[in-house]
Amino acid sequence: MPLFLRCGVMLGMASVCTLAAGQTTPKVVFEANETLFAVASTLNACGYDDGLNSSVPLRAAIRGEMAAIIDRNPAGTRLRDQACNFYHEHQQGDSSRDVAQFISLALNLGEPPVFSAKSDDMPPDAGPVQEFASFLQSFYQAAGLRELWRKHQAEYAALLAKHHDAITAMIQQTDGYLRMPVNAYVGREYTIYLEPMLSPARVNARIYGDEYFLVLSPGSSGAISLDPMRHMYLHYILDPLAAKRPLAMKRLEPLLGAVTAAPMDDSYKHNISLLVTESLIHAIEARRLLDGKAAEPARQEAVNGAEAEGYILTHYFYEAMANFEKSPVGLRDAFADMLAGINVEGERHRAQQIVFARRTAPDPLHAGITSNAPSVGLLELAERKLSAGDRQGAEQLAQQALTEKKGDEGRALFVLARTSHDIRGSQAYFERALEVTKEPRVVAWSHVYLGRIYDLRYRDAVEAGDDTAAAERQQALAHYRAALASGYGATEMKSAADAGLKQPYEPAAARGNKEDH
């Protein structure tokens, strides 16, 4: 059976773990990352102690060496304090969420020492802390992080090598059970980052398009759990199955009404594909929990626990997977029949009998971000719907967030401004967002959009020969300047504001192309 895992630390040194002959593109990457190391080390220098006592000794050693380097550097303390002030100003009162936003940022930054953004469009949780990259550049030099990274390569490599065989076996066993073809993963990649400078009690998972990331840290003995790796791997191989069947998912949407009181993240309550996939994953994990008839009570307990959290199709898929195990086809081919076999009314009635738990166990996919923050899930989903062209869906979710007082009010208003078909309504929403928002991204882009609105009025006034044209253009210029002065550093925003300063905004339709921000 071929090995699909690449394992190593990326400093030009030979990879600790290699690919099998003929395998050139791994579907799973297990490695360390210098940018993530730099961000995590900086947070440690700023008092991030979560899980320190249960971490590998390497974490304490690097912390001590970093402190000694800073003390010897006249500018070290000042540069550390600048980075730390930013970190403390953006804390949210929950250590997991405090760090999660910086992990999202690290995953979207390029290599040191520049740490440039990989894309102009940062994930919503990373946007508010994007400016941290500028402090990171200076601190990286002052704290000698490059030298520390090089110095401890052997220890990082040893930790990676220690778990290579177990992860490889987990992947092969999962693929074998599901009978998934190797070519199902072309063009997609799942990356697992091992970072000892983070808490071993926290797991952070992210999905950016076709890229899947899992960030975790070993415990004091160097051990790590395969469970979150398997859970994320199941998302990686199963998410596309649901995404390719929109009509089947549409038929199942009435089931969402049965989970409104469930303690799980709100994103599952508004997206049937997420609910279906998560239920299927819990069912697979339950069936693989133990072997033998004696294990059935433990399996049923796992199914009941998943349904109590809100994943109401777990029981259905648990039974469906029992039939699947007896058949010769792979899950990729069997999945359509599984979906077709769901009795919507029957499952909804059964779900109404479930007594939901008061709280849910941490979901590896949302750990540190949305597990205990349903407001974030609502607004994230609203922005995703808007990006996908579902203006009505985005508007409904943003309005719900406002009504239920969930999440940043300004961000919800920012979504509503972009879904409005009335330019005056959009202007009112953008102006209100500026009054209440806490997010630099919303501040900057609200000014850009207001500048464009005033530019549209300027063009109308010029065409009509109205003497208010000059005043409209001055208002537009003021907003573009305010956007650039907001402190939000995304290249796309700066380009949009600069373009507005150079000449009045022209709608995309007038230019004969499509523009989307």
Strands 211-216 and 204-208: antiparallel
Q: What is the pLDDT of residue 147?
A: 97
Rounded Cα gap, residues 370 and 374, in angstroms: 6
Residue 493, domain member (yes or no): yes
Q: 454: which 2 tokens?
A: 């005033």
Residues 64 and 181 in one domain: yes
Q: Which residues pair with 7 in a beta bridge?
A: 17, 30
Q: What is the pLDDT of residue 484?
A: 92
SS3 call for 191 = strand
Residues 189 and 250 in one domain: no
Q: What is the pLDDT of residue 507?
A: 77
Parent domain of 335: 244-351
Phi/psi at 181 (5° precision): -70, 145
Residues 206 and 252 in one domain: no
- Is residue 21 within 8 Å of 184, Cβ to Cβ? no
Q: Which residues pair with 216 in a beta bridge?
A: 194
Query: Helices 272-287 and 296-309 meet at what angle, rounded to 10?
Result: 160
Cis peptide before 74 (omega within 30 of 0): no
Strands (E) across 198-284 are located at 204-208, 211-216
Residues 189 and 257 in one domain: no
Q: What is the pLDDT of residue 176?
A: 92
Q: 18: which 2 tokens?
A: 């290699």
- Is residue 458 within 8 Å of 469, Cβ to Cβ? yes
Residues 346 and 381 in one domain: no
Rounded Cα gap, residues 4 and 21, in angstroms: 11
Rounded Cα gap, residues 175 and 172, in angstroms: 5
pTM of the full structure = 0.70
Residue 119, domain member (yes or no): yes
Residue 228, domain member (yes or no): no
Rounded Cα gap, residues 443 and 198, in angstroms: 31
**Planar angle of CA 18, 20, 22, nearest 5 degrees:** 125
Q: Which residues pair with 147 in a beta bridge?
A: none
Residue 180, domain member (yes or no): yes
Residues 289 and 381 in one domain: no
CATH code for the domain in which residue 406 is found: 1.25.40.10
Residues 286 and 154 in one domain: no
Residue 410, domain member (yes or no): yes
Mean pLDDT, the chain cut into blocks of 10 residues (517 residues total): 39 34 64 97 95 96 96 91 91 75 94 88 84 94 96 96 93 91 68 96 88 93 92 92 90 92 86 94 88 75 93 97 94 95 96 87 49 48 70 83 82 91 92 89 92 93 90 94 84 86 79 40
Number of domains in the chain: 3
Residue 407, domain member (yes or no): yes
Residues 165 and 50 in one domain: yes
SS3 call for 184 = helix
Rounded Cα gap, residues 36 and 466, in angstroms: 55
Query: Helices 440-464 and 423-436 meet at what angle, rounded to 10?
Result: 150
Residues 157 and 18 in one domain: yes
Nearest CA to 275 among 287, 263, 291, 264? 264
Residues 81 and 204 in one domain: yes
Q: What is the pLDDT of residue 223?
A: 92
Residues 446 and 335 in one domain: no
Residue 231, domain member (yes or no): no
Strands 28-32 and 5-9: parallel
Q: What is the pLDDT of residue 97?
A: 73
| DSSP letters spanning 304-357 | HHHHHHT-TTHHHHHHHHHHHHHSSS-HHHHHHHHHHT--HHHHHHHHTT----
Residue 11, domain member (yes or no): yes
Residues 121 and 210 in one domain: yes
